[in-house]
Amino acid sequence: MAKKIAVLISGGGTNLQSLIDRQKERYFNGSIELVVSNNAGSYGLERARQNQIESVYLDRKLFADNTEYDTALIRLFQKHDIDLIVLAGYLRYITPTLLAAYPDRVINIHPSLLPAFGGKNFYGLKVHQAVYQRGTRVSGATVHFVDSGQDTGPIILQKAIPLDQDWQPEEIQRQVLKVEHELLPEAVRLFCEDLLVVEQGRVRILAEH
């Protein structure tokens, strides 16, 4: 049975686009049923519309607090019988309410090799500026299950790339984004095949048959 997927975005949605493209190739046994953004202007909503995927702008100002916001998200997910929630450039905090409703079923893509360059204030270009400033010789991307921390949940996949010492933060971002566009669909594929098991805070990827 194909897994039903909801994707949460806040920005341009290039990670969403890579999922849409890979779904069309039947790369994973899942169907993106819903795209939600907290930002009316995110181009990712347009990407959803272009692909006949239900797209919802959920305005934070309409809700008393983060928990009310996530309760509205949960209602949307239940309406669409969602199995997997993918955070793809989603910049809002996920409350314990949402995590309790979807344990080990929320995954996030982060543009660094966590735990390095993760957590508070490490998002978007800021991540790559910090990587550049530190002069690390590699960077990359991480897909992880979301837990109550920020970028701290059990790691599913990582991929490292060597950094050219002359790459500026914008170039590092471009190169890491290419990795993200491979890594996220692969993590979704593993999830859809029920090959991901979380044991004592670590992810075991079961052998494929």
Do you find a cis peptide bond into 115, omega within 30 degrees of 0?
Answer: yes
Total residues binding ligand GRF (CB under 6 A): 16
Strand order in the sheet with 155-162: 54-57, 30-37, 3-9, 84-87, 106-110, 138-145, 155-162
The reply to whether 109 sits near ligand GRF by the rule CB under 6 A is: yes
The reply to whether 107 sits near ligand GRF by the rule CB under 6 A is: no
Binding range to ligand GRF, per CB under 6 A, among 7-15, 76-84, 96-104, 143-151: 7-15
* Site of tokens 């995110």: 42
Binding range to ligand GRF, per CB under 6 A, among 6-14, 30-38, 144-152, 200-208: 6-14
Binding range to ligand GRF, per CB under 6 A, among 67-75, 78-86, 108-116, 186-194: 108-116
Q: Which of 3, 7, 13, 53 binds ligand GRF (CB under 6 A)?
A: 13
Question: Which candidate, 87, 207, 67, places its Cα nearest to that of 142?
Answer: 87
Residues that bind ligand GRF (CB under 6 A): 9, 11-15, 44, 88-89, 109-111, 123-124, 177, 180
